[in-house]
Chain A
Amino acid sequence: GAVVSQHPSWVICKSGTSVKIECRSLDFQATTMFWYRQFPKQSLMLMATSNEGSKATYEQGVEKDKFLINHASLTLSTLTVTSAHPEDSSFYICSARGLDSNQPQHFGDGTRLSIL
């Protein structure tokens, strides 16, 4: 089945650091990728939707200058958390959808981000 790889799976860094998370579709072309954030014991909250070659669409309340999303190719999207602070600590999950919108999206295994 379709596989989405997310890297790194876990990152710990100091406050003020910028962190980049990669999301790759391994065996299909992902025209649309989604980025979610999940706090402990809570559900997934959609942060933004990115389409290959165009600017990402951010959900209300998500700072686009804080969470930079790049979807430069049909197999790779990146989320950069700029100048991360402890309140940005969370579980970040990406998902990808191919050309056929009737097919479900495929999720990565998530990245646990801890900001000290």
Chain B
Amino acid sequence: TQLLEQSPQFLSIQEGENLTVYCNSSSVFSSLQWYRQEPGEGPVLLVTVVTGGEVKKLKRLTFQFGDARKDSSLHITAAQPGDTGLYLCAGEWGGFKTIFGAGTRLFVKA
């Protein structure tokens, strides 16, 4: 059973389009993280959301944490080819472990 359901699993869009990636769970998380991973490298932390209803912005990326702290979303505005990569949501579980979602593979065509 996947604790964190991430969707879509794959997304191929044109440069300039907007997109949203969702991360859902039936469990409450104390915090959720979003990572981006390039092939052959470790994941790089983009943001951590902690407070229910929180919204954080990182240039063209907007992150939301659900009021109940069970879900989160990542919205990218005007996607660029440089945004291509694997986006992973992750949540703190059992007080110290990090559990990852299945990931969303994004491909932005020029």
Q: Mark B32-56, 1 if CB is under 8 A from A, else 0.
A: 0100000011111100100000000
Residues of chain B in range 87-107 having any CB-CB distance to chain A below 8 Å:
88, 96-103, 105
Is A32 close to B, CB under 8 A? yes
Question: Chain A contacts of B103 at CB under 8 A?
Answer: 42-43
- If over half of B's interface residues share one DSSP class (helix, strand or loop), that class is named, otherwise mixed; here it is strand
Q: In the bound complex, what is the Cα–Cα distance between A91 and B39 (angstroms)?
A: 10
Residues of chain B in range 69-84 having any CB-CB distance to chain A below 8 Å:
none
With an 8 Å Cβ cutoff, the count of chain A residues facing the other chain is 24
In the bound complex, do residue A34 and residue B98 qualify as a contact, i.e. CB atoms below 8 Å apart?
A: yes
In the bound complex, do residue B41 and residue A109 qualify as a contact, i.e. CB atoms below 8 Å apart?
A: yes
Residues of chain B in range 1-23 having any CB-CB distance to chain A below 8 Å:
6
Q: Mark A31-63, 1 if CB is under 8 A from B, else 0.
A: 010101000011111100100000000000000
Is A105 close to B, CB under 8 A? yes
Question: Chain A contacts of B6 at CB under 8 A?
Answer: 43
| Partner of B97 from A6, A42, A49 at Cβ < 8 Å | A49
With an 8 Å Cβ cutoff, the count of chain B residues facing the other chain is 19
Q: In the bound complex, what is the Cα–Cα distance between A39 and B28 (angstroms)?
A: 27
A107/B88 contact (C-beta < 8 A), A46-B98, A49-B97, A101-B96 known:
no
Question: Chain A contacts of B45 at CB under 8 A?
Answer: 104
Q: In the bound complex, what is the Cα–Cα distance between A46 and B48 (angstroms)?
A: 19
Question: Chain A contacts of B40 at CB under 8 A?
Answer: 91, 109-110, 112
In the bound complex, do residue B88 and residue A44 qualify as a contact, i.e. CB atoms below 8 Å apart?
A: yes
Is A108 close to B, CB under 8 A? yes
> Ordered nearest first, which 10 A-B pairs have the shortest CB separation?
A107-B42, A43-B103, A44-B100, A43-B100, A109-B42, A43-B102, A110-B42, A93-B42, A109-B41, A108-B42
- 12 contacts across the A-B interface (CB closer than 8 A): A32-B96, A34-B98, A42-B103, A43-B88, A43-B102, A44-B88, A95-B98, A97-B96, A104-B33, A105-B98, A107-B44, A112-B40
Q: Given contacts A107-B43, A110-B42, list 9 more A-B pairs with CB under 8 A.
A: A4-B42, A32-B96, A41-B105, A43-B100, A44-B43, A44-B100, A46-B99, A91-B40, A110-B41
